[in-house]
Structure 1
Amino acid sequence: MNTLANVRAELDAIDDALHDLLMRRADVVAGLAASRVKASGPTLRPGREARILRRLIGRHSGPLPAAALVRLWREMFATSIRQQNNFSLAYHGVGDAVPKLVAEHFGMGMPSRAFTTPSQALAAVGNGDAAIAVLPFPNEADPTELEWWPALDAPRLAVVARLPFFSEGNPGPEALIVAHGMPDASDDDRSLLLVEADPELSRGAVLQGLAEAGITARLLIARRLPHVSRFLFEADGLIEPGDGRLAALNFINTRPLGAYATPIRGISA
């Protein structure tokens, strides 16, 4: 018969085993950070993080909520990032939505700086003052002066992740991470495409053109400007500069702005 003392002793032993594994993991990360293997690669690997979380969620069972599992590993990911170099981030957002997403994704100890405009946050990444920028997910209602996505020049600066990656239901406000270089693939990705077309073309005609080129996409934002129509699409798969399908498009300009691992939504167990 298990007494309370026995149960507590078992929990203490499990805690010690978990602690040993966490220390071992930190040692492995520290060794990787000090090695030449990692020196030339990016610190932030959202595609690899997504693959890890999908694998763990896929094998998960029992009473521990999947959300708790994700929170535990997110904190470990954030700690690993902080171990590897002087990582810091810039962010912009009205209210507390973006700061909350930053804290949930990167932990409370990640060095970060708020900027009053998206362009200032992107400039911080461009000049090396920050490794990444976290910016609100584009919205049709955004004022033109706060639309940061048309200025991206991937792969110099590109979208590499979407926050939150995991949500049990409606995720609420979302954000995108912008960094140097194109994102690493996660095997289930979505890309952002900027399309500039003749103002006489309808949304449907632009979507049809993408489909005929083999690109399945959903319209996020449409802007009718005096001499051009500007569209932001979310497309299935990882589309990078130089993708052959882009050359088949007959628009004024089409370019990928980056990509992110397809978020997990609606898991409550």
Structure 2
Amino acid sequence: MLQVCLNGVRSRAECPRLPVTAAELAAAAREAVAAGAEDIHLHPKDRDARDTLEADAVAAAVSAVRAAVPGVPVGVTTGAWAVPDPHVRAAHVRSWSVLPDHASVNWHEDGADEVAAALLERGIGVEAGIYSGTPAAERFLGRPGPVRVLRVLAEVAGTGSQGALHAAERLLAELSSAAVPILLHGEGASAWPVLRLAAARRLDARIGMEDVLALPDGRPAAGNAALVRAARGIIHQEGLRAC
């Protein structure tokens, strides 16, 4: 499965082409799905283009994207940078009037279990965000009770292309006992090397303007669809190598 991450915490100051409004997210999702994306992750924004978990913003973004790509799963963030207090994050989830198919919960953030429980109460799938270089894997795997998550988002963060593959291998080793699907992805310089590794390992993968703004050859990407097309090419190449 290839997920497209449409915008992330970025702003238009960093990337003028970044989709921010509900209409822009819908257009970007339509183009990305046409290019080969099978799942969507997005960050709803407020009027100042900042990440928000407010019900109206979530409803607008999710509804617009669903209308543009019916049948394609749509997920949102619950990152602590948007709302630091986990109790308030959970309250926001319980206030949502339009429910995404899934939402990411970062397990290195305080209150991850509480936010995940609120999502599950609403019938929303949980993507467990496990960042490299953090205690997230230990926290996630050490939690009591059954693991009720849709997938693990294994993110190689804070490393350049040189160390990306080593960091990814370490992270996958830490998650070897997780009996759930793993989506492996990187960010910045690590995005493309890690995507190649995910394709070679037959793992789910992710690409989009949240993770990287350049194509594998270093040229600026015109948008999410261009990134998805490049990722599809890599996945196809790795598939041929395995034959």
**TM-score between both structures, scaled by the size of structure 1:** 0.29
Larger Rg: 1
